[in-house]
Amino acid sequence: MNTQLYIKDIQTLFDDVQRSQIFEDQKMMTDAVPLFSVSEINKKYENEKGSGGFDLKTFVLDHFDFLGAKISIQREDHLPIRQHIEKLWDELTRTSYQAKGTLLQLPKPYIVPGGRFNEFFYWDSYFIMLGLQVSGRIEMMENIVENCSYLIQNVGFVPNASRTHFLSRSQPPYFSLMLDLLVETTQNEGLYLQYHDTLEKEYQFWTEGENELDNNSQIKRVAKTDKGDILNRYYDAENQPRPESYLIDLEDKEGASGDEFYRNIRSACESGWDFSSRWFADEETIQTIETLNIAEVDVNCLLWHLEKTLAKSSALQNLTDKEYYFTERAENRRRIINAYFWDENAKTYKDYHLKKHKKTTSEHIAALYPLFLGLASEEQAKAVSETLAEKFLYKGGLVTTTKQSGQQWDLPNAWAPYQWLGFVSMTNYGFAELADQIKNNWCSNVERVYNNTGKLMEKYNALDDETIAGGGEYPNQDGFGWTNGVYLKLKQ
């Protein structure tokens, strides 16, 4: 049976399964593939659940398949790290030519992160592509771009990951950067023409509703400030517990204020930073999460890049009006990024609080985006480099924030994407020594953990030479897509 499953179609059973914790990982049930028609399963469940001797776990295992629920990479031989990664590319390759359970159909093979993740993830895939480039796996790079394009054309955007319960949100919009990387690799500028329509469609998704806004209001992913400027933010269309972290969300909701708690949680997931003190009003507890009140520096910089790319792809086709339109949009956004996100006192970039009309207090590594994309002045870049060296760089790499909250996107964890952003940002502005330090600190941490465990991890502890990393809603995962990609690219 190749039928698409939406969690809402088995909501009663799903709710009972997640609340009863018959599986250790809440993700397990979201990945289940029905063995019979959903109406048949629901009917049977209603009839049987009250009867004596009924066992919920047995019922679920009898009516659902759990295909490849966990990827565990076991090796008898301890290969050199580079060879290990080359083997991993094949082991992390999946196909989904037909919809199966909650898994969406995709036209091309793809690479999964690893561990408990067996679906295609959006922003992870860009950092995976960096390593594929080094490995000479150009076809897989093309596959990733083609899968993203397919999703944008058929869904309207690239979901957080390729499952039905992620159809309410995206992730940081990296498609235009993926395209740049593929053009750089293949020397084929025609790709900008080929994917022009896709770029435009993704842009429409991120700017939807902006014409309906009055000053000082927000809709979906756009906000209009009190001064009439348009900023973007992360957002999720739904305001209910995440299926993949159902019970956690129900429990976290207790003691939380406001009726948009779940949407704030989900919107933080669209940023990829789930979770961090960056989103919390008190910078400590998830109950104070207020993602919807924040316009973020990273998404606005990424959309500037998308506007620049659309101007370029328009110019290549002599679409003069469009070229002018997107060039104007990009120039205006550059001004806005500087006006709203640069903190002159702190000498770094920060997010902007839409309700308080001022920058947020959280110090975080997304401040790198204007340097990564070349939007910062020399003076701003120098100031950020000093903050980076002083507050974010540790012996195991760059941390994401200066706060230790127990959340996985906070100190002490070092994540692969930001090592690459840090390295490129410092290189862009001529801070070669700091760039090398970032590279060496993190790469040696990756090598140390690999030598001790034979695994590449999702994240690393930047402060401690003894442990791996922790925090978050699930144990540290091995595999691991973006770590493999960034490590190979930095070592090159």
- pLDDT tens column, 302-350: 999 999 999 999 999 999 999 999 999 999 999 999 999 999 999 999 9
**Do 429 and 376 meet the contact criterion of CB atoms below 8 Å apart?**
yes
**Do 130 and 489 meet the contact criterion of CB atoms below 8 Å apart?**
yes
- pLDDT tens column, 24-68: 999 999 999 999 999 999 999 999 998 889 999 999 999 999 976
* Active-site amino acid positions: 274, 458
CA distance 253 to 288: 10
Model pTM score: 0.97
What percent of the chain has a predicted confidence (pLDDT) above 70? 96
* Six token digits for residue 259: 């009726």
What is the four-CA torsion angle of 351, 352, 353, 357, rounded to 10 degrees? Answer: 160
CA distance 204 to 324: 17
> Which residues does residue 224 pair with via DSSP β-bridges, in sequence order?
217, 230
- pLDDT tens column, 338-367: 999 999 999 999 999 999 999 999 999 999
| pLDDT score at 258 | 87
Q: Where are the domains of the chain?
A: 7-65, 246-292, 371-491
What percent of the chain has a predicted confidence (pLDDT) above 90? 91
Q: Which residue has the higher pLDDT, 107 or 3?
A: 107
- pLDDT tens column, 424-458: 999 999 999 999 999 999 999 999 999 988 999 99
CA distance 124 to 211: 31
CA distance 329 to 199: 15
